[in-house]
Amino acid sequence: MKAKFPVILIIVYAAFILFSFTSGYQPGKEIGSNFLSFALSMLKILPGAFILIGLFQVWVSRERVEKHLGEDSSIMSFLWVLLLAGTTVGGLYVAFPVAWALYEKGAGLQVVLSYIGFAAVCRIPMIIFEASFMGAKFTLVRLLISIPLVVISSMLLGRYLNARSWKMTSPE
């Protein structure tokens, strides 16, 4: 039954989009074109990102990740993931597979959670775009508030989950 539900949803969605284009229903046409636009942008980014993640899994040793990003690593681990997240291209749909690869290689849960938070708020292209519209002062204040909040919240959540022996499970 579980496998049938997503298939039924996909069929209903496709039928709705097809109906919208044939009948001229404007909201449905916009939903379909937005979906197509989003899917094409993902197809441009994801293959390259997955190749880089695969190379990371092959080339970077577990010992190196544990040394710099593991449970017993220093506060510098948060700086490392801030730099990594700042250069992550493709938004959170690339950040989540990278976070899984880091966790699988031995990065601490607190560091992985920080990476996800930083990828959401500290990507370099987003910072440049924001500064050009909102001003550099606004962007600087937002970063000075966001970065410590991401670190503090990920440390608290990581400690909470580690105390309960929580583990990430495979996305499969």
Residue pair 67/73 in contact (Cβ under 8 Å)? The answer is yes
Q: Work out the average pLDDT over 29-46.
A: 91
Residue pair 109/93 in contact (Cβ under 8 Å)? The answer is no
d(C-alpha 131, C-alpha 114), whole Å: 23
Q: Above 70 in pLDDT, residue 141?
A: yes
Residue pair 146/121 in contact (Cβ under 8 Å)? The answer is yes
List the one residue out of 149, 148, 129 whose CA is nearest residue 139: 129
56-81 pLDDT, tens digit per residue, is 889 999 999 999 999 888 899 999 99
| Amino acid 168: pLDDT | 82
Residue pair 142/129 in contact (Cβ under 8 Å)? The answer is no
Show Cβ contacts of residue 73 under 8 Å, excluding neighbours closer than 6 positions.
66, 67, 108, 111
List the one residue out of 118, 123, 47 whose CA is nearest residue 77: 118
Q: Work out the average pLDDT over 85-113.
A: 90
List the one residue out of 150, 49, 55, 128 whose CA is nearest residue 90: 49
Percent of the chain with pLDDT over 90: 67
pTM score, two decimals?
0.80
Q: Work out the average pLDDT over 96-102.
A: 92
Calculate the average pLDDT of the chain.
91
Model confidence band, residue 169 (pLDDT cutoffs 50, 70, 90): confident
| Amino acid 106: pLDDT | 92
Q: Work out the average pLDDT over 12-30.
A: 94
Q: Work out the average pLDDT over 40-46.
A: 87
Q: Above 80 in pLDDT, residue 118?
A: yes
d(C-alpha 32, C-alpha 19), whole Å: 11
